[in-house]
Structure 1
Amino acid sequence: MPEQTSTTVTEGRVRRVPRYGVFLVMGGALGVLTAAILTLTFDGIAEPSEIGVTYSQSQVFGFLMLYCAAGGVMLGAIVALILDKTVGRRTHTVTMTTEKVIEQPDAA
């Protein structure tokens, strides 16, 4: 079988970008860890609230987790955007070679 090949050479620019998903997940995990530390550090069960309601430790953790996890995700996104702007400025020019092989059917 005779083969026919065509080769094209092009130049392209490559730049590194951070993986945003990793930064968002790590920020959320940091927020949950912060909520756990705050829950265990401050004892709000001994003092009733202004309206006379006492919250359990798991309720306090849930409330804090809502705010801390959202804040952690936002903080992770901001860090990723800052890294994208600083690290993303460095680009490299690379040469890309593309080869296309076309097989010719036999004439027999």
Structure 2
Amino acid sequence: MAQGSTPDKHDVQLRRSPKLQAFVLVFGLLGFFVTAIVTGLYPSDPSIGFVALFAYFALFGVSGSITIGVIVWLVIDMRSKKRMTVVRMERQSD
């Protein structure tokens, strides 16, 4: 590669973007625990049992809270795109 073919200065866009995995994990665990608490507040049907009832409601509680977490992540990600800054980087040779 020739030395003159690469420019010494670049404009780079910097932004702090949130991590999707963190939002999915936190909101999923939050939905799991809220579902466990709400299911435990009321007596369960003896023919069904607590575990089966909790598992059924956990499907909706966890998936619903993950959906809310992804929506919150999207809003924060859009806000981070608005706060993006452009920085000039220079190549240094030692």
Give the shorter-chain TM-score range: 0.7 to 0.9
CA RMSD between the two structures: 2.2
* Contact 1:32–1:65 (CA under 8 A) maintained in structure 2: yes
User: How does 1:3-82 map onto structure 2 within 5 Å?
Assistant: 8-45=8-45, 54-82=47-75
- TM-score, normalising length: structure 2: 0.82
Residue by residue, what CA displacement relative to the aligned partner does 1:42-85 show, whole Å, maximum 9, x if unpaired? 11226xxxxxxx21111111111111110111010000001111
Q: Distance in 2 between matches of 1:98 and 1:78?
A: 39
**Is the strand fraction higher in 1 or 2?**
1
Q: Distance in 2 between matches of 1:87 and 1:45?
A: 48
Q: Which runs of 5+ in 1 are unaligned?
A: 47-53, 102-108
Percent of aligned pairs sharing the same letter = 24
Instruction: Return the offset for 1:12.
Output: 1.4
**Is the helix fraction higher in 1 or 2?**
2
* Contact 1:8–1:98 (CA under 8 A) maintained in structure 2: yes
Q: Which runs of 5+ in 2 are unaligned?
A: none
- TM-score, normalising length: structure 1: 0.72
Aligned partner of 2:81 in structure 1 is 88
* Contact 1:7–1:99 (CA under 8 A) maintained in structure 2: no
Which 4+ runs in 1 deviate beyond 2 A? 97-101
Count of residues in Structure 1 that have an aligned counterpart in Structure 2: 90
Instruction: Return the offset for 1:92.
Output: 1.1
The structure with the larger Rg is 1
Q: Secondary structure at the match of 1:29?
A: helix
